[in-house]
Structure 1
């Protein structure tokens, strides 16, 4: 993927930049490689720095209502400190590691509607210019894919995915936003759940899976409940994921049910089996900044992603739209520092 931009803020005849990303999707916590291709303009210039920014199009709840904008969530200095002669061609190769909590943008090749981008910043003799965005595609880690696959096999359906600005209380979240994948309940749970929201907080040793259940009041179960479950990357090949994920959902349903879920599951509601490390954070308002939107979507068979294609926004168009609203609020970190 390539973009080219004449660095207008540096004046006519300034250098141009092409940023070329290696083909294929990256993994959370994995390498992002490519090269920045520079071509000298009509005069010699000193290149002070070449910086890559990772950007995400996010939503935020403010006093004025829901707003959208762009958050820069990582910066990498990949070059600088050299002279670019008039008309000279030079290349700055790079290989950087994206954050573990980088959101997933696709599943089984289907877009989830999440918009991420890579922006190149070139500093020349005290000036700087932020170039156009190059779309960034991120596929799930094996653990994340296994969890979503299990939801699909259990009969849950994909609704939507978005990025919410804010933090989830009681977690080790690192980024200033989190991803929510909203799924509809399987027929088994439709009498007590409206939807389940899945958030992955990945790290080098494993993934915390945060589940929030929106309860519809069936069987005396009311309100929202939240729980976090921890799994390791090594669990992928040795876990019955359908049993584990079903156990997680059962715990969400049973947590505040007056009869411990017996009305729904019978006299012995608990499955035997390994559910992963569990920490319950209670219910109601677990997000420090949080907004909900109800969306309908198709059911799925073996993969949550089966319904994703129709919900996905055009990636390039989404990035442009995000840029247009960069200045909607100062809660979008790093977007008020244009050079």
Structure 2
């Protein structure tokens, strides 16, 4: 199995491959981004060479980082069961809107706040309802001769370089307020995303796709050692290739782009709150440990830190709606 990782050790930040319980660093100046630009075939060749020739560093001697610094992150909402539960919790209404079935839906989130497994995740200011979201993410790599635009599902399949685990951390109370403005999510989402523990290359899953292109692999999440939810990736409404293809329509997907599956069924607290009619289980608090495991990929684990105490809301000013054009606004400064 080819696993691609980034880590910190005494030599600083390194990129390379994992085999067993050892890390094998790429040559200086070669990064995970270099591999994504080179494409999957060249990466597999380089992995074989690196594991054979580079010094082995024990996994226990390093600190894993997020396996890449994403160029962009598109996060989909591809699990019907999740939509059913969380819509009741966030919007206060039951059911799935008809538009969900018509096409995949995603939002862009913040690539600058990506963290790795083991990182302490602080609670954002003003949040009393911190939640997690259990997901798988596809990582895009280069395909020779393709510009990544207007892809078919078959073409998009070839652009999937590999897969990693994604925890889309969520401040549900902040999200609930901003979604009422019909835009977002915004501050309810952009404070943290965890990716890891590494990227497993797509060839490892090639013989596991079913006839429609879905991957029947298991996702599970627990908090403080207690199981919270479990689902199969094949319960998505669309296979990953169709998500990537949809993202590319009248747009482009490029090496380093990350596309999340959206939360699996029972993969977050808000979905359970919607079904239970109360915040049961309770929101995450300082010291809670969230552990996510995806079959064939690996496990990420993060501890919840303290909440930042600050007032971040800025109220709108109430101003008269005067649309009259004044002479000052109509004439450039200094003109008679």
- TM-score band by shorter chain is under 0.3
* Structure with bigger RCO (C-alpha 8 Å, 6+ apart): 2
Quick check: which one's helix share is greater?
A: 2
TM-score, length-scaled by structure 2? 0.24
Q: Normalised by the size of structure 1, how large is the TM-score?
A: 0.24
